[in-house]
Amino acid sequence: MTDAVENAGTVQPATGAARGVTSVSDEVVEKIAGAAARAVPGVADLGGDVARFFNNILDKVGLDEVGDARRGVSADVKGNAAVINVVLVIDAGHVVVDVTEAVRVAVIEAVEKYGLTVTQVNVTVDDIELNQPGPAAV
């Protein structure tokens, strides 16, 4: 008996593309990239002056988690490709080029683990954190 006759009347499973489309929102990529950037040594904070100002206000009224996950990061996702922009504050004493390159690598690795392709990571250093905690008083 031929294969066609044996399988007559059976429905072959459709491929993924035939069953629907999967999309990933900009917000998801922004959260992933933000977490990766914050973990890089030398990154004091994310976001520009205005974003950090409003975050401080939210902190004072007890809404300290609002907007933190995506602050300082924007993403433009088209299909499975993403362009990511990161605005950060660098800790004093760190080499800007070293920190920004480490952020770029960390963001790319983190986002690409989710099956997306990162085509660009643009990093802007908006400020420097000079208030480093000193050694504990004895």
Which residues are registered as beta bridge partners of 85?
74, 122
Kindly calculate the radius of gyration of the chain based on its CA atoms and give it in whole angstroms: 22
Better-predicted residue by pLDDT, 96 or 15:
96
**pLDDT (tens digit per residue) in 6-39:** 555 555 555 656 788 889 999 999 999 999 999 9
Give the model's confidence band at 82: pLDDT under 50 very low, under 70 low, under 90 confident, else very high.
very high
| pTM, full prediction | 0.73
Per-residue pLDDT at 34 = 94
Question: Measured in Å, how far apart are the chain's first and last C-alpha atoms?
Answer: 89
Sign, CA dihedral 38-43-48-51, equals positive
Average pLDDT over all residues of the chain: 81
Place of tokens 């629907």: 20
Return the SS3 of 65: coil
Q: Which residues contact 27 (CB under 8 A, 6 or more apart)?
A: 70, 75
* Mean pLDDT to the nearest integer, 55-66: 54
